[in-house]
Amino acid sequence: MAKTRITISLDQDQAERVRQHAERAGMDVSAYLVHAATRQMAESDAIEEQFAEVDALIAQAEQAADGLPTESTPEATAELTEQERREVEEALALVHGQDRQGRRPGHAA
């Protein structure tokens, strides 16, 4: 198979680190970079494959949401019970990053 040359530009510090790592791995710089890129591509492919089904569901939900009104109106909520309205408000608060105490999950109080 014919080889193709690709030229990259690095800061001097980065280039030196790459050389050092390649040497420790017993590889020349070219082989080391190809190995690193190949590993990264395999990891990215595996992640994309693992989440493909979820990504498809998200795309479907986004497409379905495009046809929905962006704000609630009295007409839109008229058929909901008070409990259903509270549940919707709680769900929207979570979607917008707040828990039941008004805090953003994952953030210190």
pTM for the structure as a whole? 0.53
Phi, psi of 13 (to 5 degrees): -65, -45
Query: pLDDT tens digits for 12-29?
Result: 999 999 999 999 999 999
Question: 18: closest CA among 1, 7, 5, 31?
Answer: 31
d(CA 31, CA 45): 21
Q: Which domain holds residue 89?
A: 73-109
Task: Clarify whether residues 85 and 103 are in a common domain.
Answer: yes
Residue 58 maps to a domain: yes
Query: pLDDT tens digits for 41-68?
Result: 999 999 999 999 999 998 888 888 777 6
Mean pLDDT of 75-98: 78
Query: pLDDT tens digits for 33-46?
Result: 999 999 999 999 99
Task: Clarify whether residues 16 and 50 are in a common domain.
Answer: yes
pLDDT at 106 exceeding the cut of 80: no
Mean pLDDT of 77-89: 82
Q: Which residues of 1-32 are buried (b: 16+ CB within 10 A; e: fewer)?
A: eeeeeeeeeeeeeeeeebeeebeeeeeeeeeb
